[in-house]
Amino acid sequence: MTSGFFQEWGEAGIVQIPISMAPPLRQVNSYLLRGPEGVTIIDPGPRTAATEREWGEILRELRLRPGDITSIVLTHHHPDHFGMAGYLQSLTQAAVYMSARSYEESERMWGQGSTVDAALPALFRQHGMPGEWLHQLPAHLRSFIGQVTPFPEVTFVEEGSSILMGGRSWEPVMSGGHAPGHLSFYDQGRRVMICGDAVLPQISPNISLVPDSEPYPLQSFIDGLERLGAYDVSMAFPGHRSPFDYFDERIRLLIQHHEQRLERMERLLQEVPLTGFEVCKTLFGTKLGIHQMRFAMSETLAHLLELVRQGRAAMEETGGDAGFRFRALQQTYKI
Ligand SMILES: [Zn+2]
Ligand SMILES: [Zn+2]
């Protein structure tokens, strides 16, 4: 059944509810599952005036009372997935489940003691980002706090346990790189994977280098893809875009995309040593808003650090304003 608000995937017992969010993604998928244990909402979206209104309309259209919602399950801490959880919990008294690692990350990014609005510009400065971008970062980062307020009271769920949703038992599968502690959920009986942003159709999930978090996020991301690829999946329900039936193929393409990106960066560095920002500019240009520039820089550094980890590049001090630059350690000879 399809309405203006939702689409029912009858065989999987899952209702897909697109929730609005800022461009460029515009929509995040929330999923709703009904079972004898109650109603579960997965990833309710960011908290904004628009999404508060949308959830009111959805509950009316699905003829649900707030008290019918018994669980809110979060794949990861990003505001477009986690943000609304505390607000919905205050309306419904539902339990909110996420991984401990993911909750730690939400505190690092948006908690009261967060220092990321200083630490991220400091990191990007060391890698050559000019002041015109750096100055925009603190306000940009703080702009997400409203979308994640209030924080929910959480119950931790971990790999090796199972979680009941829609009357079925789901296995949490952890991955990283896009978001540390990210959980996907697998229903073996129906071969269905709810995969958040760990695997997306059409879009390559952003690889996020965050100060004091995962040191090699690209390695974590690829490890996660390989773990997810071991599951037999007939239908995948992603955090953005439409559910898809080519999970294995999508994983293979994402791994290939990152291998090609690493090779391209290595070739750039073989010509001349470059700062992270110089590589970022070459790959993504500079006609980006601050949000996309932050993602581009963060992903570029994640790739460069992966080249370092693999012994294909070295990070060395420049002695100048930009603290570091990257140099290729191997030459690729074409025969
Ligand atoms: Zn995400
Ligand atoms: Zn997302």
Tell me: pLDDT of 91 over 90.
Answer: yes
Residues 6+ apart with CB under 8 A from 156: 97, 98, 99, 100, 103
**Ligand showing the shortest atom-to-Cα distance for residue 46:** 2
**Predicted TM-score of the model (pTM):** 0.95
C-alpha of residue 80 to centroid of ligand 2, in Å = 6
C-alpha of residue 196 to centroid of ligand 1, in Å = 7
C-alpha of residue 46 to centroid of ligand 2, in Å = 10
C-alpha of residue 239 to centroid of ligand 1, in Å = 8
C-alpha of residue 197 to centroid of ligand 2, in Å = 6
pLDDT for res 10: 79
**Ligand showing the shortest atom-to-Cα distance for residue 45:** 2
How distant is the alpha carbon of residue 235 from its chain centre?
20
**Ligand showing the shortest atom-to-Cα distance for residue 239:** 2
Integer Cα distance of 98 and 104 in angstroms: 10
**Ligand showing the shortest atom-to-Cα distance for residue 26:** 2
**Ligand showing the shortest atom-to-Cα distance for residue 105:** 1
Tell me: pLDDT of 3 over 70.
Answer: no
Got the DSSP string for 78-121?
A: -HHHHTTHHHHHHHH--EEEE-HHHHHHHHHHHSTT--HHHHHH
pLDDT per position as a tens digit, 109-121:
999 999 999 999 9
Residue that is written with structure tokens 């790189």 in the block: 177
- The identity of residue 330, as a single letter, is Q
Strand partners, 193: 186, 236
